[in-house]
Amino acid sequence: MLWRYEITGADTITLHFGERIDVALVTRIQHASTLLREQLGPRLLDLVPSYTTLLLRYDLLTDDLASLLADVKTALTALPEPLYAGEPSSGNSAGDQQADIIEIPVFYDVSVGPDLDSIAARAGLSVDEVIACHCGATYNVFAIGFAPGFAYLGEVPRELAAPRLDTPRAKVPPGAVGIADTQTAIYPLASPGGWNLIGRTPLQMFDPDRERPSLLDAGQRVRFRAIGRDEYLELGGRLDDLPWGTAEGQKTARKQTESRDLVSSEPETRDLKNGDRQ
């Protein structure tokens, strides 16, 4: 058995599938989540996949732990052997879902991404090269956390990796695209945040009134597509809610960022497991 369980609450158990975060493990956890949804159905009130674990919540009034665990073990006997980097998917339903890449349009500009210039300077690239680099990768959704619909995507190309801001912003608008360490993400709601902002998507990443409130789920794959200002506005993007203000404010923000980078020229290294800090 290539997983273990831990009782983590009165009505929850957590399945552990490994200790090290990698794409193969995310795929395996998504396989497990799909199998358990299909075979246990309404017995599971919730399934929450994360970097290395899958949390299961069940109804104490209608189920018991011993019976549930027995059926979980039976269901997971169909779980494929672990995949390793470079191996093809087994082609089952979860693997087929992995083949679908979700495209996210992004308006990359300092007006909506005040840290775009500093990311470029840090990487020794032009802004256009940063955009091409960010759009050129395919990202895996490792986990959903911090806020509803906040998807942790990884990993960014090495040259784009950057530490979080020393002083988080009091407010980041919804749709802002950021980079922190080796991950990238999209803020689904207005909230404080310390990620380096490089652009903004017009898509609504989280809507509680949708059948599936979150646009992204753990295990999916994502690519970004650069769009211009006109298309951003046509798709419903906003420019009237930017907490950092007008273009003049942008210049001030860039100068502050440049000063910060001069003080700290060495990249800060953090473990990917700490990716849920903002």
* Residue range(s) of every CATH 3.30.1360.40 domain in the chain: 4-96
At residue 273, the pLDDT reads: 44
User: Which residue from 94, 108, 98 is spatially nearest to 186, judged by alpha carbons?
Assistant: 108
> Is the alpha carbon torsion for 108, 119, 217, 149 positive or negative?
negative
Q: Write down the pTM of the prediction.
A: 0.72
Q: Which CATH architecture has domain 4-96?
A: 2-Layer Sandwich (3.30)
Q: Which residues of 142-155 are buried (b: 16+ CB within 10 A; e: fewer)?
A: bbbbbbebbbbbbb
pLDDT in tens, the chain (278 residues): 588 999 999 999 999 988 887 777 888 888 898 899 999 989 999 988 888 899 999 999 999 999 999 999 999 988 876 544 434 344 444 444 445 899 999 999 999 999 999 999 999 999 999 999 999 999 999 888 888 999 999 999 999 999 999 999 999 999 999 999 999 999 999 999 999 999 999 999 999 999 989 999 888 899 999 999 999 999 999 999 999 875 544 554 555 555 555 544 444 434 454 445 55
Q: In whole angstroms, give the CA distance from residue 16 to residue 19.
A: 8
User: Which residue from 17, 261, 28 is spatially nearest to 162, judged by alpha carbons?
Assistant: 261
Residues 6+ positions from 250 with CB-CB distance below 8 Å: 110, 111, 114, 244
At residue 262, the pLDDT reads: 54
* Residue range(s) of every CATH 2.40.100.10 domain in the chain: 100-274
For the domain spanning 100-274, the CATH number is 2.40.100.10
Question: What DSSP string describes the chain?
Answer: ---EEEEEETTEEEEE--SS--HHHHHHHHHHHHHHHHHHGGGEEEEEE-SSEEEEEE-TTT--HHHHHHHHHHHGGGSPPPP-TTPPP--SHHHHHHTPEEEEEEE--TTT-TTHHHHHHHHT--HHHHHHHHHHS-EEEEEE-SSTT-EEEE---GGG-BPPPSS-EEEE-TTEEEEEBTEEEE--SSEEE-SEEEEE--S-SB-TTSSS-BS--TT-EEEEEEE-HHHHHHTT--SS--TT-SHHHHHHHHHHHHHHHHH--SPP---GGGTT--
